[in-house]
Amino acid sequence: MRGYHDIGGLPASQLDLTEHVYEPWEKRVDAMLVLLVQQKLITLDEHRRVHESLGDRAYNELKYYERWIAATANLLVMKGVLTLAEIAKKMDEVQARAAQGDDRAI
């Protein structure tokens, strides 16, 4: 049975091959994943498994790096590295900085 994330061989729209300019937060998500793997807190196989288990709706509605950060947060909570409360607190801090125009909130 094909998973919702497995689109290989299915009809698709034309690919947009223009260069994507990465947002600062996308670069940070990528760097964070590299650091987590280097520190052996997670593996790429674990990340892929959690990424592919986000669910049909999240997988199809979230953008690429939004799926990465959701999967990373889920995995860190599953492994006991972070709690949902810690993530929520940090998100509140980031939103407060964004409301004040702080560029670090991006």
Looking at residue 7, what is its pLDDT? 59
CA–CA distance, 23 with 87 (Å, rounded to integer): 21
N residues, the chain: 106
Looking at residue 76, what is its pLDDT? 96
CA–CA distance, 68 with 92 (Å, rounded to integer): 20
Looking at residue 16, what is its pLDDT? 74
Domains detected in the chain: 24-105 (1.10.472.20)
The answer to whether residues 12 and 95 touch, using CB atoms and an 8 Å cutoff, is no
Q: Give the global pTM.
A: 0.78
SS3 for 64? Answer: helix
Alpha-carbon distances, residue 5 vs 23, 50, 74 (angstroms): 24, 12, 17
Per-residue pLDDT tens digits of the chain, which is 106 residues long: 756 665 566 677 777 778 889 999 899 999 999 999 999 999 999 999 998 899 889 888 999 999 999 999 999 999 999 999 999 999 999 889 888 887 665 5
CA–CA distance, 17 with 31 (Å, rounded to integer): 24
CA–CA distance, 104 with 3 (Å, rounded to integer): 37
